Amino acid sequence: MDGGLAFPALVAARFLLALAPSPAVLKHDQLLSSPLTSFSRLQEGIFLFENGIDPYSGGSFRHSPLLLSLFSTVLPLTRLTASLLWTASDAIGAWALIHIWRSRQNVKSSPRDGLLAAFYLFNPYIFLPTLALSTSTFENTLYLLSLLFACQGRSSASLLTLALLVQLSLPSVLILFPVVLLLVSDCVSRLASPRPFAADIRKTLPLLAEFAAYSLLLTIASTLACGNWSWVEKTWGAPLLLPDLTPNPGLWWYFFTEMFDHFRPFFLMVFSVHLLIYVLPICIKFQHDMLYASFLLLGVFATFKAYPTLSDPGLFLSMTSLFPEIFPYLRHPIVTALLHLHASLLLPLFNHLWLTQGTGNANFFYASTLVFGMANGAALLDAVWAGLRIAVGELKDGYEVVQE
């Protein structure tokens, strides 16, 4: 396939798909958009904002004030502009993915470009949320852009996109650590030849300060845009306090629906800290390849974050195409693939049976989120195993790798 033509062709196909009439049921699908990313809630917030009512005074609008001011001033949201904008965001994401690959391989172009773009643009976990106009599409694009700029060593651009991303979704601040380390090192693949972290760790301090400055600036901008500080609790507080228990493919909602009231704060703390706890070990273990560490952390977030949608695991799965060297070493690829297939069939089916058909109950959907959690966990474990296993290299017959 010619890499030069494949990308425009794929993007064009996606635009056609976006303009084709999509069923309205997608917009309210709980798998594709969470309360933090739902398009209907974004429209409601913009409507209230334009009519002089503070959208953050209520509990349903939880988008960032940046999105609010963007869509209420610069870009009026209609069905058409929204479809085009969301698809363009995906196209930028695919473009970033291709360029991350190029800088990782240190080449100007590669025959894999078309494949990478296809793997991103036509991953159903990526394009279905885009058709549902979930703002998680923008989060994915910003993730990829931030990683791309970090790979290219453009620290300001990378930190600014990351600061923007943190405005949209607070848990992504955890990716800051590997991104900063990636900025002071490089993104060339060293999975097969691990070595201690080469660069000077003290060089990260000015980068962290720069990130803090951008974040502060954007926070002030958000506060000015909405007029008060109430947005902080509504947007950033939501993933920590879980005020909205709308079902999603993650593990939090049913756990906290069924949680005893006096244990709720404790378990909220445990679940939030649990996300945090992966950052350092993964960064230390994969200090030779920070891009891989960021990739693994995205897998952790996709499994364990508070309000995931399908596009979070979608990003993780699409990013596996950046690391073809690990494919021979995946531990149980068939099992993982079947688990994902199983979950992707069960999730919409049981959601429909419970909420629309009324013939199933909440446990059906909960069970399918457990399967989905298993599938994401298995994919994560495969990636961790393969990333470490690759360093051992090819084995002679009769030998096998185990852990001590």
Partner 1 sequence: MHLVYLVLILCFNLSRILALESREQFDEELTLRPLRDGKLGARFLFTTLLKGATPRRPEALLTMTIHYTLFPLALGQVLREYAVTELHLTLNAGNWNYGQWGYPDEPGVGTGAELWAWMGDGAPITIDERWQGLRNALAGLFCASLGSLDEQRTTSPSLTFQPEGSLPDWTTAHQLRHATLPSEHVCTENLTPFLKLLPCKSLSGIARLLNPHKLFDADWHGLGVHVRYREGAGVEVRLAFQAVFDPVRYSHDKRRDWSLHSVFDRSIDKACPVARSSKVRVGLPKDRYMISPDPSVIDDRFATYLVGAAGEALDVAMQWPEEPAFQYLLASGAEPLTDISVRRTLKGSSQSQAQMALVITNNLPVQVQASYLETMPWLLQFYLHTLRAYVDGVSRDDLVSIISYSPPVPHSRPTLLQAILTLPPNNTLQLTMDVTKTFLRYTEHPPDAQRGWDLPPAVIIPFSFGELLSQNHSMPAAAGPALETRPRRIYTPVMLVDLATPDFSMPYNVIIMSCTLIALIFGSVFNLLTRKFVVVLVDEPASKVSPIESATCG
Residue 37 beta carbon to partner 1: minimum distance, rounded to whole angstroms: 14
How many whole angstroms separate alpha carbon 63 and alpha carbon 142?
16
Three-state DSSP class for residue 52:
coil
- 216-245 residues in contact with partner 1 (CB under 8 A) are 243-245
* Residue with the two structure tokens 């090819």: 394
Instruction: Give yes or no for residue 403 binding partner 1 (CB under 8 A).
Output: yes
Token pair in block for residue 179: 């991104």
- 38 in Cβ contact with 134 (< 8 Å): yes
Instruction: Give yes or no for residue 105 binding partner 1 (CB under 8 A).
Output: no
- 359 in Cβ contact with 303 (< 8 Å): no
Instruction: Give yes or no for residue 377 binding partner 1 (CB under 8 A).
Output: yes
How many whole angstroms separate alpha carbon 81 and alpha carbon 91?
15
How many whole angstroms separate alpha carbon 300 and alpha carbon 319?
13
Instruction: Give yes or no for residue 47 binding partner 1 (CB under 8 A).
Output: yes
Instruction: Give yes or no for residue 384 binding partner 1 (CB under 8 A).
Output: yes
From candidates 85, 259, 337, 353, binder to partner 1 by CB under 8 A: 259
From candidates 32, 37, 61, 177, binder to partner 1 by CB under 8 A: 61
| List of E strands, 32-158 | none
CB-nearer residue toward partner 1: 110 or 230:
230
Residue 64 beta carbon to partner 1: minimum distance, rounded to whole angstroms: 18
Q: Which stretch binds partner 1 (CB under 8 A): 154-162, 250-258, 307-315, 336-344?
A: 250-258
The answer for residues whose C-beta is within 8 angstroms of residue 241's C-beta and 6 or more apart is 268
User: Minimal CA–CA distance to 57: which of 69, 66, 48?
Assistant: 48
User: Minimal CA–CA distance to 168: which of 42, 253, 298?
Assistant: 42
From candidates 7, 30, 185, 339, binder to partner 1 by CB under 8 A: 30
Instruction: Give yes or no for residue 273 binding partner 1 (CB under 8 A).
Output: no
Instruction: Give yes or no for residue 78 binding partner 1 (CB under 8 A).
Output: no
Tell me the per-residue interface mask from 281 to 320 with partner 1, x by CB under 8 A, - otherwise.
xx-xx-xx-----------x--xx----------------
Instruction: Give yes or no for residue 93 binding partner 1 (CB under 8 A).
Output: no
- 351-370 residues in contact with partner 1 (CB under 8 A) are 354-356, 358, 361-363, 366, 370
Q: How many residues bind partner 1 (CB under 8 A)?
A: 76
Instruction: Give yes or no for residue 151 binding partner 1 (CB under 8 A).
Output: no
Instruction: Give yes or no for residue 333 binding partner 1 (CB under 8 A).
Output: no
- 194 in Cβ contact with 313 (< 8 Å): no
How many whole angstroms separate alpha carbon 277 and alpha carbon 256?
20
User: Minimal CA–CA distance to 211: which of 158, 249, 172, 252?
Assistant: 158
